[in-house]
Structure 1
Amino acid sequence: MSGAARAQQRRAVTAKELARRLGSSERTARRLVAEPREEFLARAQARRDQVVGLREQGLKYREIAEEMGISTGAVGRILHDVRKSENLR
């Protein structure tokens, strides 16, 4: 697996630039640096669990956002999605 996919940070080069350097298509460049789906889903689930756990401890959206280094909007979206998925069950 590519080191860029494991780094979990934004790449400094776009897919178009990488494709040009590699002499390949943009699609191939994206595929080469993409994080495996299973790892992405596991990381997303861990993030959801952490947000929910902090909210259950009584933290406010702003406090959760600061603790996790994400925006308050992201906290709200995660909690909204969790509530929505629980109502569907």
Structure 2
Amino acid sequence: MVIQTIRKKRPLPARQLAEMYDVTPRTIMRWAAQTRADWIDEQAAGREAIRAYHDDDGHSWTQTAKHFHLSLSTVKERA
């Protein structure tokens, strides 16, 4: 059986997908694992979005935290 890796976030929990495909949850995690490079790029894009919203658009830290549904300290740390 040849399995091609999906390389994106799972639409359902691993346990549910494992039951659907009759494999273990760990196998589902391997199939759908995001590459480190993709994860790093995703995090960088998120940090840039936070920085742009706060610095370029002139919003306060509190407004930025509410916009991104994060805590104030998390937003400041990521920016």
TM-score (structure 1 length as normaliser): 0.61
| Superposition map of 1:59-74 within 5 A | 59-64=59-64, 65-66=66-67, 70-73=68-71
More helix by share: 1
What SS does the aligned partner of 1:16 have?
Answer: helix
Q: Which amino acid aligns with 1:20?
A: E
Instruction: Indicate the RMSD between aligned Cα atoms, in angstroms.
Output: 2.5
1:1-89 equivalence runs, <5 A = 1-2=5-6, 5=8, 11=11, 13-57=12-56, 58-64=58-64, 65-66=66-67, 70-73=68-71, 76-82=73-79
In structure 1, runs of 5+ residues without a counterpart are 83-89
With a CA cutoff of 8 Å and minimum separation of 6, indicate the structure with the bigger relative contact order. Answer: 2
Structure 2 segments unaligned to the other structure (5+ residues):
none
Percent identity of equivalent pairs = 16
**How many angstroms apart in 2 are the aligned matches of 1:54 and 1:76?**
16
Deviations 1:13-62 (A, max 9, x none): 22111112222111111111222221111011111012122222321235
The number of equivalent residue pairs is 73
Give the TM-score of the pair, scaled to structure 2. 0.67
Give the residue type in structure 1 aligned to 2:48: D
